[in-house]
Structure formats: C-alpha cells, structure tokens
Amino acid sequence: MKRSEIKRRPLADTVLATLEPESSVYRELDGNGLYFRVKPNGQKSWELRYKKADGKWSWLGMGGYPEVSGALARQKAAKLRDSTAKDGSVLATKRAIRVAEIEAANNTFEHLAREWYAVKCKTWTEGTAVRTIGALEKHVFPVFGKRPYTGILPMEWMEFLRGMEQTGIVEQTSRVRGMCREIYDLARVTGRATHNPLEGLHKFLLTKPVENFAHVSIEELPALLRAIRSYPHAPDVRIGLQLLTMLACRPSELREARWEEINLDAGLWLIPAERMKRRREHLVPLPTQAVALLRELKNITGNYSLLFPGRGNTTKPRSNTVFLMALRRLGYEGRQTGHGFRHLASTILNENGFDSQHVEAQLSHVKEGVRGVYDKSTYLEQRKVMMQWYADHLDKLASGNLLEFKRA
C-alpha cells in the first residue's frame, strides 16, 4: 500500500508488510518517537528518534523488518525510553543499547529453544538430537524464532500447527507440538513465563495412528522375506534389510553401526551406550546367517568405518529413511517398516515358547529399577540359541519348507 493510505498508528502488521517504497528513503511515525524506515530498494527497518545528552536529536537503529516485528520494535523502544537521564533525554550510550539488544535477543523463542535443546540433547542419541534441532530449524524458527516467546498467543500456535497438519505431516506436527510445549515448560519452571500457550492444544489437533511399528502378518512374512532377498538395487541395502529381519535391532542401531563394534569370529555385536535408546551397552548375538551377510557386506564397505556409509559423505551413515524407502520400492509402503521387524520377532519368539525375559533382553527392553545395573551380557547364552533358531526359522519361511507347529 502507499503511505498516503495509512489510516491509523501504531502501524498495523498489514501496513508494515505491504508498505511500498518510493524514489527516496522515507520514515513513517509509528508512535512515541518510533519510526518505520523504507528505502527505495524495499528494505525496511526501525529507528527511534531520541535526544542526546547535549540536547541534539538523533536516530537510533532498532533492527530490520521483518526480523524485528512491530511488537518487538515497540518493546525495545519502550525499554530505552524508560532509561532516561535527569534532563529527560534517552540514554543512548553504546552500553545501554547493547543491554537492550541482549535482553531482546534472550527473550526470543529461538534463544529459549536452544537453551532447552542444550539441556535435553545430553540424554539423546545423535540421531534424535539431529532430528529434533532439524525440525525446530525447519518448521518453527522461521515463524516464531525471532519473536519474544511471552508474546506468542495460543491461537497463533494453533494456526501454525494446523498449517503443518494441512501439509500432511501429522506425526511430525505432533512431535513439534511436544517439543515446543516442553520449551515453554522450561520458561515456566525457571520463572520466565507464567503459563504455557501450548497446553491443551492437542485436544483440537488431528491425531494419527502410530505407524512406526507397521508390519505384515505372519502369513505375509514369507513373501516379504523372499522379496528382500531378491532386492534388485543396492546390495548393501539388501544386506541391511536381511539383518533387520533376523537381529530384532532398531533400524538406527544398524544404520549407524561401525565395523569396530562387530566381532565376526565370536559372532557378537557390541552396541555402545551412546547409540542406545536407554544409554546402556547392548550385546547382540549374531547367528551364522548374520555373520555370513556381514562378511559379504565387509567386501563392499569394509574400507570405511561405518557398515552403511553415506554416498555423498562416507563419514556419515546412510539416510535414516534408507530401509523404509527400500521397503517402499518392494511394494510394502505402509505395511512394513524397519522397526516393525522387532514386533514380528517378538511375536514369533514368544509364540514359539521362548522365555519372554530372553526376548525382552534381545530387544534391549529393561525394566527400570528392578534389575539394578544393567548387565550387557544378560541371558547371552540363551539368546545365542534363541536367535540362531530364529534365523533358521526365517530361512525355512523364505524357502516355504516349514510346517505350521509351535515350539514346545
């Protein structure tokens, strides 16, 4: 819009966003000495007109728009006006300006979020940490990052999250909402906020059935096993899928595995604590079929530290969707995920009479506070026998040479 069309002040958000440039720079009064400056190239910023100690008037830059919104610019100007000298002039010393800028920066949602992240990431795996900060940087910071977190209304969060839902990422929306709710909890318990604007929003947002554990039925498993063994694309991905079917590990644990963790002669894989969900070492017995697959894989990626090095950067593992995309190419989208193989293993092993404690130990599920300090070799000998049986069982399913009966 043209400056001549301005009807009221302070300037509305729609005015700030649409105000057109002219052939020369101009300023429009917002109120109380705060001006909105527009350059011929369309660049916009805030300036405060103030009186120096010597009685002369001058301009003080308050930041560029839209990085500094109207609300934030007025807040910064008010703080500077509150700091006045005896003669009534604004104290515009470098120190006062710097203090005001630091206070404004520390009150932004991004600053609070990064403080929360620094505390929480110490207990996360590397993959979780990367996904969390990535979601905030991609979705939240561009919208709310530069704004004071106390000024963001519940309705604004509702509109933002519903906008995410409309793109189809319902599950990601739920995770983002949970992160932001925790971020505000940090501000509340540290006395920097009196309420949490995301509290209760989940009641009015979409929910989606959890699909992380999607898996085929036992009857469909033989066809899936045969499809995986004939996967026509990258051989390392084929091997990875086969290992997922028989080891009952988490996809991230396998995808990020390093050769130094694998002892092929002993048939053991020691996953270090920093890569485990519960931050405890986990020892995985390798059946003979897994050892053979790993020896095949070593001929492909053995010159790298990772079992599944990335194509662009071999110091980082393959994408976290590599196995999911492979299953999609095989026609199992929405029917089978990498994590779903853990559910299948648990079902088959329990139904065939194996001790549930051995199964839970293989899945690295440990009851907190009951067993005390976790022993990474818990039920190792029993699990060696169990997982060899399971690998043999999958071979029989894939070949179709299995009669239906339960293990005594």
Q: Is 280 an active-site residue?
A: no
DSSP 381: H
Catalytic position from the list 250, 255, 318, 358: 250
Q: What mean pLDDT do residues 213-225 have? A: 91
Domains in the chain, ordered, with CATH?
3-83 (3.30.160.390), 109-204 (1.10.150.130), 221-399 (1.10.443.10)
pLDDT at position 78 is 84
If DSSP codes are grouped into helix, strand and coil, which group holds residue 186? helix
CB 240, CB 247: distance < 8 Å: no
Q: Is 139 an active-site residue?
A: no
**Average model confidence (pLDDT) for the chain?**
86
In the chain, the amino acid numbered 34 is: L
CB 80, CB 100: distance < 8 Å: yes
State how far the Cα of 399 lies from the Cα of 402, in Å rounded to an integer: 8
| Percent above pLDDT 90 for the chain | 58
User: Residue 404 has which token pair?
Assistant: 């239906």
Q: What mean pLDDT do residues 236-246 have? A: 96
For 22-51, the pLDDT digits (tens) are: 999 999 999 988 999 999 999 999 998 877
pLDDT at position 57 is 82
pLDDT at position 95 is 55
Q: What mean pLDDT do residues 2-10 have? A: 90
Look at the block and give the residue holding tokens 């990601």: 172
Q: Can you list the alpha helix ranges (DSSP code H) found in 53-136?
A: 70-82, 94-106, 109-120, 126-135
In the chain, the amino acid numbered 93 is: T
For 163-209, the pLDDT digits (tens) are: 988 887 877 888 999 999 999 999 999 988 888 999 999 888 876 54
Catalytic position from the list 76, 139, 339, 383: 339
Q: Is 95 an active-site residue?
A: no
* CB neighbour list of residue 95: distance below 8 Å, 6 or more residues apart: none
Catalytic position from the list 51, 258, 277, 384: 277
Residue 252: exposed, middle, or buried by beta-carbon count in 10 A (0-12, 13-18, 19+)? Answer: buried
* CB neighbour list of residue 172: distance below 8 Å, 6 or more residues apart: 135, 139, 164
pLDDT at position 28 is 94
Q: Is 332 an active-site residue?
A: no
Residue 345 has pLDDT above 50, yes or no: yes
CB 338, CB 323: distance < 8 Å: yes
For 269-318, the pLDDT digits (tens) are: 999 988 886 668 889 999 999 999 999 999 999 999 999 999 889 999 99
Strand partners, 37: 27, 45
Catalytic position from the list 275, 342, 358, 383: 342
